[in-house]
Amino acid sequence: MNNEPLQILVVDADELYASRICQMLENEGGSEHRYTICHTGEQAVQSCREYCFDCALFDYDLLDMSGTDVIQQIRLVLDEKTPPVIILAANNVSEAATQSVRVQATDFLAKVDVTGRSLSRSVNNAVEKGRLRRGIQERRRELTLANLELERQAIEIQRFYHTVSHEMKTPLSATREFVSIVHDQLLGPVNKEQAEVLQHAMLCCDQITTQFNDLIDLTRLETGKLALNMIPCDLEIALKRVVAMVASTANEKYIKLDVRLPAQMPEVMMDEGRVTQVVSNLLNNAIKFTDAGGMVRVAARIVSCGNVQIRVSDTGQGIPKAYLTDVFDRLFQVESARSPDSQSGLGLGLSVAREIIRGHGQEMMVRSRLERGSLFTFELDAVAPNVQVVAA
């Protein structure tokens, strides 16, 4: 315990007993402490306004009010700064003990049982508890301030993302248009090598545009400003459309695209454009991290609750177990020495995908094994959830 002198308040209607309390504490090693004696509740409240006490001892039966009433008045004035209190009673001991619990006194002592040792032990325990309580309160205030600062910084970062994305998209679109004009030979002929370079430039513009769109989407999703247009949709048509969109990319890498859908699939409640964005992101990632000759599969099945589960799997590199809890974090990318191309992008796609699925009231899950591939799954609410379960 801290050996610094304590500020102790003693409140007792009996002047002799108040002095006796101070003497007992001094005899038990409290001679360095500073004691303030009050004989009425009003005096005690005024003293607490003027001084900071480490511990306060209250007689339950004061002349103007009960000790517990004084404590309540002091709490109204000091709130969290109220010192730890000990209540002593000579009469109505049972009632006083009950009231002590009600006002959350640190300890209660019957005067007939008080000794110098018991009083000193009670005061030391109360002071220690008070210091712990103040430490917790201070830590809570620090955490609250830190949390407010983090929230402020998060909002600032989101605004930065949003502003940069919007400010850059217009000149970027203009740049792509100018490159496209040259590529299409509207300003004169270009040779094959020049055309290839211009094609790469347009693809880079498209890639940056996608990244900016991800930044805007993620900012809107995290701030709740991206409204989802939830309507009944034909999921089968949507999935087949996405597969057709990525088919050429898969063919270029000699990756087989496998689609497995149930014979009868109910309509689902979804924002078709956003779910298409999610599945497209998952398929493109699967193709990116799968070697030539591998397979990427998109499947759907009706689960026991009647919802439709979408599954995107691959036979690719897989994700290290240590990274599985991080793959949906903003800007996170799994390090890969095998494919430098796999490091392109900002690492926002899965973050956006997860937030979109959360906007649909569901969660996205992932399972993966190194050199065996990955499986991403999520569910969508069926419009008719009582459809018979059919295995994919």
All structural domains of the chain with their residue ranges? 7-114, 147-222, 231-380
Higher-pLDDT residue of 65 and 56 is: 56
Summarize the confidence of residues 38-66 as an average pLDDT: 89
Summarize the confidence of residues 115-138 as an average pLDDT: 90
Predicted pLDDT at 340: 47
DSSP 263: S
Summarize the confidence of residues 167-195 as an average pLDDT: 87
Cβ distance 108 to 100 under 8 Å? yes
Summarize the confidence of residues 14-27 as an average pLDDT: 92
pLDDT in tens, 184-210: 989 889 898 998 889 888 888 877 777
CATH of 147-222, picked from 3.30.70, 3.40.50, 1.10.3470, 1.10.287, is 1.10.287
Summarize the confidence of residues 163-184 as an average pLDDT: 83
239: Cβ contacts below 8 Å, ≥ 6 apart: 259, 261, 279, 298, 300, 310
**Does the pLDDT of residue 83 top 70, yes or no?**
yes
Please state, in angstroms and rounded to a whole number, the distance separating the CA atoms of residues 223 and 284. 27
Please state, in angstroms and rounded to a whole number, the distance separating the CA atoms of residues 22 and 7. 12
298: Cβ contacts below 8 Å, ≥ 6 apart: 239, 242, 243, 257, 258, 259, 260, 279, 283, 310, 311, 312
Mode of pairing for the β-strands spanning 85-89 and 55-59: parallel
| CA angle, 364 then 150 then 155, to 5° | 75
CATH architecture of structural domain 231-380: 2-Layer Sandwich (3.30)
| CA angle, 215 then 240 then 249, to 5° | 60
Predicted pLDDT at 2: 57
CATH of 7-114, picked from 3.40.50.300, 2.102.10.10, 3.40.50.2300, 3.40.50.1100, is 3.40.50.2300
